């Protein structure tokens, strides 16, 4: 194993309409691509790309709507999104409420280096991903 790459974020991210903002100040714990069917539906493409950060390192401003669904992992995933423009600001798993999953595309920049593909069992072949990223059939304990 190589040393995990943990970019240090000090950034703000805003939804499309500007009503909601995240301020993130801390290390990225993990960088995931999730190919579960829910992420395919929510993103409209083959996978979501999310950065796992400590919830304590994130400040949310603006009023968000939330949608909770049973995750393929057996936990509950709650997605928090702007009620005006629909952009997801973050998601949280009932399995790890001290962390937040933030979409890489929301945060922007080019620091994102995915270190694992989760729920690869439902990965679609047309969604091209580098073979070099470790793939897990479901989720991995202790990201
Ligand atoms: Zn918005
Ligand atoms: Zn997913």
pLDDT in tens, 87-138: 999 999 999 999 999 999 999 989 999 999 999 999 999 999 999 999 999 9
Give the environment of ion ligand 1: residues with CB less than 5 A: 15, 17, 19, 82, 84-85
The reported pLDDT for the residue numbered 1 is 46
The reported pLDDT for the residue numbered 58 is 98
Question: Would the pLDDT of 8 be above 90?
Answer: yes
Task: Give buried/exposed letters for 21-52 (b at 16+ CB in 10 A, else e).
Answer: ebebeeebebbbbbbbebbbebeeebbbbbbb
CA–centroid distance, residue 45 to ligand 2 (Å): 11
Give the integer Cα–Cα distance in Å for 4 and 27: 11
pLDDT in tens, 41-84: 999 999 999 999 999 999 999 999 999 999 877 889 999 999 99
Neighbouring residues of 45: CB distance < 8 A, sequence distance ≥ 6: 127
pLDDT band at 141 (very low <50, low <70, confident <90, very high): low
Structure tokens that stand for 134 in this block? 């470790």
Give yes or no for a contact between 79 and 96, defined as CB atoms under 8 angstroms apart.
no
Question: Would the pLDDT of 143 be above 60?
Answer: no
CA–centroid distance, residue 13 to ligand 1 (Å): 11
Least distant ligand from the CA of 138:
2
Q: List beta partners, residue 28.
A: 53
Number of H helices, E strands in the chain: 2, 9
Ordered structural domains, the chain, with CATH: 20-122 (3.90.1590.10)
Give yes or no for a contact between 136 and 118, defined as CB atoms under 8 angstroms apart.
yes
């Amino acid at each position: 194993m190589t040393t995990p790459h943990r970019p240090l974020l000090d950034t703000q991210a805003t939804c499309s309409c500007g009503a909601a903002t995240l301020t993130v100040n801390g290390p990225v714990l993990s960088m995931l691509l999730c190919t579960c069917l829910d992420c395919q539906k929510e993103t409209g493409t083959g996978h979501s790309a999310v950065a796992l950060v400590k919830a304590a390192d994130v400040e949310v401003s603006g009023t968000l709507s939330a949608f909770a669904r049973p995750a393929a992992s057996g936990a509950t995933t709650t997605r928090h999104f702007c009620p005006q423009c629909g952009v997801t600001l973050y998601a949280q798993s009932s399995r790890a409420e001290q962390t937040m999953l933030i979409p890489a595309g929301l945060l922007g920049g080019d620091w994102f280096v995915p270190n694992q593909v989760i729920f690869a069992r439902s990965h679609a072949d047309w969604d091209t991903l580098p073979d070099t990223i470790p793939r897990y059939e479901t989720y991995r304990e202790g990201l």
